[in-house]
Amino acid sequence: MGTTSTENTLLETIAYLRSPISIRERCGKLFDLVESGKSSNFNCDLSQLERVADYVIDVINSEYPNGEIPFHSRWRHFEAFSEALGVSRLNTLDEKLAGLTPLEKAYSKFDLVILSVLLDAGAGSKWCYYEHDTGLTSKRSEGLAIASFHMFCQGFFSSNPANLLQGDAQKLQSITEIELAEGFQVTTDNPLVGLDGRLNLLQRLGKVLLTTPDFFGQENPRPGNLVNYFLDKAENNQIAATTVLTTILEALSNIWPGRVEIAGVNLGDVWQHSALNTSLNTSELIYAELVPFHKLSQWLTYSLLEPLQELGLEITGLDTMTGLPEYRNGGLCIDLGLIKPKQIDILHSPQKVSSEVIVEWRALTVIFLDKIAATVRKKLDKSEMELPLVKILQGGTWTAGRKIAVELRPGGIPPIQIESDGTVF
């Protein structure tokens, strides 16, 4: 029995909302709204673009004086502070993986980075992680990365004592809140925002691994089995970055709690804004208010590209992906005057992730990241191929956002406080 025209329209809408094209188009509509003065939340000041680009370039030159900028991915956080400490956590991982085939190493690296990214929602300002080997205490995203790295290396996510360096469906479904709290060193004096949200995400992932063998395999379902899926999708030893993203969005859609759905399909990091009362990609006003971001999924995509490159695959279409609308990149835009809140309450009252203030802020951030990247390239006389957005994010805007936050506010907190549920930021 064939599909109806309505069903086809819904499927087209789902596919559209999972594409970077839709992120830029929908965010662009909100940007136009703000730029035309029709927003009650923000103004834009494009005259600050040159200043912001100069600030980002200064950070790039400071962080990467040799010009060799890596991708903005979770792998950078695993090495946080390692240069100053004289250690390399990734070298330690490679030593643990010695003796495995290149394919088996890729499975483990996929397991590690997928689990770590999914655990990377905002930690709050009070939580920190103490690394026993180095004596380092770290916070926020780096702290979460280092914590999840050590949890992985200790076999926290594995049900198989003979293979500790994996994450599998059986263990993920059985993890308890007490275990997760111990792994993250959570106490009453060291609270982690969204611990229950992280636990639910892991448990949901365990169920998804079991129910989608096309992505995660029949035997020993694990995130790392996505490697085989991508190898099958590659043509002429090449794979498009968007192929990785759309696969992640499809394969992991059911792990996200309480999100917008179309025809029973969970859309993930997609939110509503009432100002968008025009159609999506059809003449009908179907789900017209939706704004997609897919922040964690895009960051996860960026993070999965490196193990695929290690297997010899060439990544194409990098700059079809968008910048990441999170509080470091968004904070940079506010702190350096590209985005100006119209109401002082925006900066002083915590905002829900679903609020139109946050949706609008994130949309503006996506568009401004493209404009910052273009201005940086022009000033450095670099092409998109030489300096793709994923490197400008790393070099780059994320680090610059953290730097200016530390200069302006105690603890480097973002300019807008977000009520995290452990699944978005």
pLDDT given for residue 419 in this prediction:
82
> Could you give the count of Cα atoms lying within 13 Å of 371 in the half-sphere of its Cβ?
20
Q: What is the mean pLDDT of residues 369-397?
A: 95
Q: What is the mean pLDDT of residues 372-387?
A: 95
pLDDT-derived band at 277 (thresholds 50, 70, 90) equals confident
Q: Are strands 261-262 and 265-266 parallel, antiparallel or unpaired?
A: antiparallel
Q: What is the mean pLDDT of residues 234-238?
A: 95
Q: What is the mean pLDDT of residues 190-206?
A: 91
Q: What is the mean pLDDT of residues 83-91?
A: 84
Q: Does residue 322 carry a pLDDT above 50?
A: yes
252 secondary structure, DSSP code: T
Mean pLDDT value across the chain: 91
Q: Does residue 284 carry a pLDDT above 50?
A: no
d(CA 420, CA 296): 14
> Could you give the count of Cα atoms lying within 13 Å of 303 in the half-sphere of its Cβ?
27
Rg of the chain over Cα atoms, rounded to whole angstroms, equals: 21
Structure tokens, 119: 């655990």
pLDDT given for residue 425 in this prediction:
52
Dihedral angle over CA of 102, 105, 106, 108, nearest 10:
170
* Pairwise pLDDT comparison (81 vs 397), residue with the higher score: 397
pLDDT given for residue 422 in this prediction:
57
d(CA 305, CA 205): 21
Q: What is the mean pLDDT of residues 257-284?
A: 77
d(CA 282, CA 1): 24
For 327-378, the pLDDT digits (tens) are 999 999 999 999 999 998 999 999 999 999 999 999 999 999 999 999 999 9
Q: What is the mean pLDDT of residues 225-245?
A: 96
Q: What is the mean pLDDT of residues 183-187?
A: 96
- The residue assigned the tokens 């997760």 is 180
pLDDT given for residue 286 in this prediction:
54
pLDDT-derived band at 423 (thresholds 50, 70, 90) equals low
> Could you give the count of Cα atoms lying within 13 Å of 194 in the half-sphere of its Cβ?
24
Identify the three-state secondary structure at position 112.
helix
Q: Whole-model pTM above 0.85?
A: yes
pLDDT given for residue 156 in this prediction:
96
Q: Does residue 400 carry a pLDDT above 90?
A: yes
pLDDT-derived band at 420 (thresholds 50, 70, 90) equals low
Q: Does residue 287 carry a pLDDT above 80?
A: no
DSSP 52-73: HHHHHHHHHHHH-TTS----SS
Q: What is the mean pLDDT of residues 233-243?
A: 95
Q: Does residue 282 carry a pLDDT above 50?
A: no
| Strands in 132-212 per DSSP E | 136-139
Q: Does residue 411 carry a pLDDT above 90?
A: no
